[in-house]
Amino acid sequence: MRIATWNVNSITARLPRLLAWLESSGTDVLCLQEAKIAEEQFPFDQLRDLGYEAAVHATGRWNGVAVLSRVGLADVVKGLPGDPGFDGVQEPRAISATCGPVRVWSVYVPNGREVDHPHYAYKLQWFEALRAAVAGDAAGGRPFAVLGDYNVAPTDDDVYDRAAFEGSTHVTPAERAALASLREAGLADVVPRPLKYEHPFTYWDYRQLCFPKNRGMRIDLVYANEPFAKAVTDAYVDREERKGKGASDHAPVVVDLDV
């Protein structure tokens, strides 16, 4: 079974590449983030033509998450229970579903913007709500994983230059402590380092030739419980999908399971 996560940075802009990638990659379940589309405008028909059902939590221009599956889609939960909201709004940043033998969450963690911005405090509160929401499944016997854009680099090795991020979000002790809290709930990072290259980054800014210069970050993660982790046979970042015209600024992260 092949499961992936991908921040597509607008499904409208990325649709031709998304459909081609699904056809060529052999992916059974895709957790998708930053759809940037209203649910009623989601390309259900095009995905159905490829054999995928879709569960979507999206409201319009910003955010938006989905789970695409060709192995079944059941017990869908939209939104994060206990979501603290930002400026009185609960944003579409989480969705969960059972796909065949596994249960997955697709999450798009708040960016945080700046350390002294209210959005940063919201990000930390959101992490607390996520930990509470997934603790039961994490401790269970069914393969379970939380996949998505976490907007946190777990270690200094997960950014191209720690000094370049001094004083900014994504690398602060509080954000990394939030990841540690998730792991303490019974989840582990199942994408090893190194992979086939020294730095398996998943995100590169569009500006300043960051991708050709490999000035990236590893912020798209797969955190899984023990039954899921034990079933992993391979994991990789599909850097090829970050290349060329019309690419997202994130690459898909792919995990193969023997279930």
Annotated catalytic residue: which of 52, 108, 150, 160? 108
7 is in an annotated binding site: yes
53 is in an annotated binding site: no
75 is in an annotated binding site: no
Annotated catalytic residue: which of 158, 170, 220, 250? 250
Is-catalytic flag, 149?
A: yes
Quick one: 67 exposed, middle or buried, by C-beta within 10 A (0-12, 13-18, 19+)?
buried
Annotated catalytic residue: which of 28, 137, 149, 158? 149
214 is in an annotated binding site: no
- Residues 6 or more apart whose Cβ sits within 8 Å of residue 131: 178, 181, 182, 185
156 is in an annotated binding site: no
Is-catalytic flag, 108?
A: yes
170 is in an annotated binding site: no
- Enumerate the active-site residues: 108, 149, 250
Which residue ranges are tagged as binding site for Mg(2+)? 7, 34, 149, 151, 249-250
Which residue ranges are tagged as binding site? 7, 34, 149, 151, 249-250
